[in-house]
Amino acid sequence: MRKTTLILTIILTTSSLYCQTMFSGFIDKYPIELVTDTYSDGDAKAIYAYSDRDEPIVTTGTLKNKELTLYEKDAKNINSAKLTFNRFDLANSRQEGIWTDLKTNKEFKITLDKTFEINCGDSIEWENREILQPVSLDNKYFKLIVSKKKGEFQTTVTGVKILEKKTDKLLQKLNVDCQLMGLENISIGDFNFDGIFDFSVFETSYAGANTSSLYFLYDTKSEKYIESGFSGVSLEFDSEAKRIYERNQSCAGSVVTTAEYKVVNNKMVLIKEHCYIWDETKQDMVERKLKDCE
């Protein structure tokens, strides 16, 4: 983002097809970029960041009869601003709306022009498009780098850019090979329990609720993020207990394995694991031997 630029990212629930569309334009006299992420019908979610802060702001709202309304909340979780598009239609190359300060009722016009699409079922080849993420750190924000190969319908996350707030200086670029999950592929957390925030990138989804992510740990010596090598299904991190928990479901949830890990020298060390299988007689999950879950 240049100094006069505001970046606005919108996640929408609008159609049965998956589609992302990037726009550029203005809120009043201030240049903006906007990317929409559309799904099925009704609810809407948005993320935007002003260029002088590069601080992503999450908003939520609805899209009904082509009227998109999004609300921004303050620190007390009270609606503080509203973005309204009365004729929002992704088929159009231009979108117009109003940004309203709900405390002062001051309004600014929004004007947007479409710059590219991540479409929606086609197999056209393109590469190196960038998507702002909804999370950030004190002085850093994130962008995904996404591409699509010829003949493939799935969009791939090929990299992550870590940029300095206010200056947009590129601090680090990491290559990955992950599945695009809308606009919320990156999460923040202290994954090695050292008191410093790290980040993860959603990798892929499997059968049922099973997912995996890549975990990058912050190295204080190099001041860079290093891939941890942490692996597992649907990992959860407990900062109080300083434990990592894994839960792997199969057979429509009738077979579940769990594991508990501690972190030693930035490595996951297995402490214990369990196997549970659904018992029709007891109508409950019953612990069995680990080999029974294999």
Q: How confident is the model at residue 16 (pLDDT cuts 50, 70, 90)?
A: very low
Query: Mean pLDDT throughout 73-78?
Result: 92
Name the average pLDDT for the chain. Answer: 88
Report pLDDT for 245: 98
Average pLDDT over residues 162-189: 94
Span 44-63, average pLDDT = 84
On whether both 195 and 291 belong to a single domain, the answer is: yes
Q: Is residue 51 part of a domain?
A: yes
Beta bridge partners of 276: 256, 287
Q: CB–CB of 5/33 below 8 Å?
A: yes
Residue 43 near residue 31, CB atoms below 8 Å: no
Q: What is the mean pLDDT of residues 84-95?
A: 90
* 81-107 average pLDDT score: 93
The pLDDT of residue 41? 65
The structural domain count of the chain equals 2
pLDDT above 90: percentage of residues in the chain: 60
Question: Which residues in 7-44 are b (16+ Cβ under 10 Å) and which e?
Answer: bbbbbbebeeebbbbbbbbebeebbbbbbbbbbeeeeb
Kindly state the average pLDDT of the residues 270-294: 95
Q: Which residues pair with 268 in a beta bridge?
A: 263
Q: What is the pLDDT of residue 2?
A: 47
Q: Which of 70, 91, 119 is the last residue of a domain?
A: 119
Is 159 within a domain? no
Look at residue 173 and tell me if it is in a domain. no
pTM, to two decimals:
0.88
The pLDDT, as a whole number, for residue 38 is: 65
Domain carrying residue 258: 190-294
Confidence of residue 14 (pLDDT cuts 50, 70, 90): very low
What average pLDDT score do residues 232-257 get? 95
CATH number (domain holding residue 36):
2.40.160.90
Q: What is the mean pLDDT of residues 20-28?
A: 81
Position 52 pLDDT exceeds 90: no
Mean pLDDT of 59-74: 88
